[in-house]
Amino acid sequence: MSDGRWGGRLGDLFPVHPQPLPDELLTSWLLRTAHGNGMKLQRLLDVALGKSAATLNRDYDRSVPDAHLKRYAELTGIDARRLTECTLRGFSGTFVEEVKTTTNTPWILAIGVQHRKRKLYGQQYCPSCLGTDFVPYFRRSWRLAFYVECNVHHVAMCDACWACGAQVIPHRIDVGQPRMSLLQNMRYCHRCGDDLAHAPHYRLDIGDIEVAVRLRSLISVHWWQESIGNGYKSQTMADDFVDWRNLCHILRSRRVHLNRLGPAMGSLLHREAIPDKGRAGFTVEHARVHERVVVLIEGLWLLCDWPQRLGRVLRFARLTKRRLLSSYTNWSPRMRHVLIDDA
C-alpha cells in the first residue's frame, strides 16, 4: 500500500481498520481510518469508491448511500449496520420521525456545503472532549441543534475555531498538506492549525432550575426513553420536539402578531430583545450556537409549569391561542388540546 496502488481487491481489508468509537460520526471514523493507513481521506475514498463518487461535496454524514457503507464494511470488516449507526440517519424514529438525506431535517444542524467547503456553522465540538480524548474524534450528538452543552464536561459547545473563526471541517485537516500532517488529529483547525481544545471553556447560564434540569436531561440522551410531555399519555417524544421547535421559531418570528411573543418573553425574563438582523426568518438548524442557546431556553421555559405559563405569556403578549394554533399545522395533540380550548 505504500506505493499508493492498493486497490481493495475482493476479500482484501485495509491493514488498519479501527472500530468506531462511542457516538462517532462516520466522517470522523473515515478520517481516522485513512490516516491510520497512511493515506489522506480523499485517497481512501478514491480507493474505496472510485474518483467519480460523490462524497465530501455534500453532507456525507447525513446522505451517505447504503452502497458506500457496504463497501466500507468490505474493506474494514466492520458490519455495515454498525457503520449506519455512525450516520445521522441513525436518529430516525427518536426526536424526529425521519432524517432526510437531501433537505433540512428538524434538529439536525445544517452545514451549508458549497463544493467541499461550508457556509454554516453546523459542526459543533466540546473543547474539553477533544482535549481529554486519548484519540480525538467527533460525535454524532455534536450535530444536534439542541445539544448546546457537553453532557460529560458541562461546558458550552463551540461551533467555530476560537482563534480564526473558521467553520469546523475536520476532514480538511489534511488538504494541501504534506504527508506529515497525517500525524495531526482532529483537534486542529483546518485553516489556521490552532488547537480547538484551547477554546475558552464556559458554562451556560440557564437561570431557571426546572428549565436547566429538562434541558440537561434532553442533552444527556434521555430522549431515547423519556418525554418532556408532563404526563400527557398520547404525547410521544417526537411530539415534544415538534412543539419545542415551533415555539423557538415563533419566538424569533417577524410575522405580524406572532412577533409579539419574543419581546414579551424578553420582558418577563428581564432580557434584552434580540436585534433584528434583517433576515427573512430564523431557523434553529441554521443558527449559531450562541443564538440557539437563548431561544432554546426560552422555548423550553414556555413548556414548563404546563399549561399555565404558556397562557400567562400569551396574555401578556396579547396573542390569542387561535393565532398560535394557526401558525403551524403540526402541533402535538397536547398543544392542540390547550390551544383549541377557549381559542
| DSSP state string for 131-183 | HH-SS---BGGGGBTT--B-TTT--B-B-S-TTT-----GGGTTTT--GGGGG
On the question of pLDDT at 83 being above 50, the answer is yes
Please give the average per-residue pLDDT across 44-56, as a whole number.
Answer: 94
Predicted local confidence at residue 273, as pLDDT: 59
Of the pLDDT bands very low, low, confident and very high (cuts 50, 70, 90), residue 235 is low
Cell numbers linked to 246: 415551533
Please give the average per-residue pLDDT across 1-29, as a whole number.
Answer: 76
| Nearest residue to 297 (alpha-carbon basis) of 237, 226, 209 | 209
On the question of pLDDT at 127 being above 90, the answer is yes
Predicted local confidence at residue 141, as pLDDT: 94
Predicted local confidence at residue 223, as pLDDT: 46
Lowest mean pLDDT among 253-257, 267-271, 314-318, 335-339: 267-271
| Virtual torsion, Cα 88, 94, 96, 97, nearest 10 deg | 100
On the question of pLDDT at 301 being above 90, the answer is yes
Please give the average per-residue pLDDT across 300-323, as a whole number.
Answer: 92
| Cα atoms in the Cβ-side hemisphere of radius 13 Å centred on 257 | 12
Structure-model confidence comparison of residues 10 and 300, the more confident one? 300
pLDDT digits (tens, 9 = 90+) for 263-292: 888 888 777 656 555 445 789 999 999 999
Predicted local confidence at residue 169, as pLDDT: 94
C-alpha–C-alpha distance, residues 64 and 86, integer Å: 11
On the question of pLDDT at 152 being above 90, the answer is yes
Which uninterrupted H or E stretch holds 90?
Answer: none
Predicted local confidence at residue 102, as pLDDT: 83
C-alpha–C-alpha distance, residues 238 and 242, integer Å: 6
| Nearest residue to 170 (alpha-carbon basis) of 60, 265, 266 | 60
Contact partners, residue 98, CB within 8 Å, separation at least 6: 92, 105
